[in-house]
Amino acid sequence: MFIGTQELIWIAIIVLILFGASKIPEVARSLGRSVAEFKKAQREAELELRELERDLKASKEEKRAKLEKIARDLGINPEGKSDEELLEEINKALPKIEKTKP
């Protein structure tokens, strides 16, 4: 899907017809500025996505740490268990604790 030599020649002819030889440097500068702006916006968007990914990962790690603390407080070993497994065991342990309270 690359542009071949023949296509480039046709594009050059069309540009000459539309803009004239005197306008080509101005059009090229404008095109260059547009490409630079696009690349800058692309870099900024990628940076924002990386920051969002980092924030989501930190949030997930905080959630895991809280689950592990609750599990340990209830006497549950959190090692090797998924978040869902921990939640299930915590939910099973909570009614037992409620029954033992006076």
3-state helix, strand, coil in the chain (%, to 5): 80, 0, 20
| Averaged pLDDT, 66-95 | 89
**How many domains does the chain fold into?**
1
Q: Is residue 53 part of a domain?
A: yes
pLDDT at 94: 81
Tokens of 58: 């930190």
Q: Is residue 18 part of a domain?
A: no
pLDDT at 102: 59
Per the structure, the complete domain to which residue 83 belongs is given by: 23-100
Q: Is residue 39 part of a domain?
A: yes
More confident: 102 or 31: 31
Place of tokens 């440097």: 25
pLDDT at 51: 95
Compute the half-sphere exposure of residue 77: CA atoms within 13 Å on the CB side of its CA.
2
Q: pLDDT, tens digit, for every residue of 12-65? A: 889 888 888 888 888 889 989 999 999 999 999 999 999 999 999 999 999 999
User: H helices then E strands: how many in the chain?
Assistant: 3, 0
